Amino acid sequence: MSGVSKARVSMEPFLVRWTPDASHITRSGLAGGKNVFAGGRPAHQLTGRRGEEDAYFYLRRRGYTIIARNYRSPHHRGELDLVGWERDVLCFIEVKTRTTRDIKPAEAAVDRDKQRELSLVARDFLHQIPPSCQWRFDVLAVYYEHGPSRPTFELFQNAFPVSYNHQFGSRGFADSY
């Protein structure tokens, strides 16, 4: 394949090893000429995975204990990027990664529909743990404006409210906002 360089990118679940020789985009022969990295993954997916990996280490440095990555529910669409404890509060963390701030802030991508999707998956996660814990939703914006080796982070704790519905008890979520 001409035009595609060999890159050292690990495709283990969630983990991407970012190396300088994988930091450029090449043109693919795929329909539509989408930008892809060697290995066949679209560039935006690799950027997102790199952001989630850097977010994991950033949150650990801030004292979070991460207990789950990319949690998916068998009952609802979507996933929780990271789930972790900050002291005695369980946090469901949505990571949004961008290479620029020119279009709209990363955290703005967590709109009502995304909040609803996250809430439903979080509800399923909460059914697996003891019932009396405090919890919240955080959004972590990761920006690679200065290249892949220098991310900046903006953490929005308790980023959006969750409506309650008595049919689900003390940890229930409303089915609409």
Q: What is the pLDDT of residues 82-130, one digit of tens each?
A: 999 999 999 999 999 999 888 888 889 999 999 999 999 999 999 988 7
Which pLDDT band, with edges at 50, 70 and 90, does 24 fall under? very low
CA distance linking residue 12 with residue 140, whole number of Å: 23
Q: Which is it for strands 89-98 and 26-27: parallel, antiparallel or unpaired? A: unpaired
CATH number at residue 150: 3.40.1350.10
Q: What is the pLDDT of residues 61-76, one digit of tens each?
A: 999 999 999 999 989 9
Per-residue pLDDT at 39: 62
In a domain? residue 64: yes
What is the number of other CB atoms lying within 10 angstroms of the CB of residue 115? 19
Q: Tell me what the mean pLDDT of segment 11-15 comes to.
A: 33
What is the percent of the chain with per-residue pLDDT over 70, rounded to a whole number? 69
In a domain? residue 19: no
Helix (H) or strand (E) holding 119: helix 112-126
The whole-model pTM stands at 0.70
Per-residue pLDDT at 84: 97
In a domain? residue 159: yes
Q: Is the pLDDT of residue 137 over 60?
A: yes
Range of the domain at 97: 42-171
In a domain? residue 34: no
CA distance linking residue 151 with residue 1, whole number of Å: 32
Cβ pair 151, 54 in contact under 8 A: yes
Domain count, the chain: 1
Q: Is the pLDDT of residue 29 over 50?
A: no
CA dihedral 103, 107, 108, 114 (to 10 degrees): 130
Per-residue pLDDT at 37: 52
End-to-end CA distance of the chain: 50
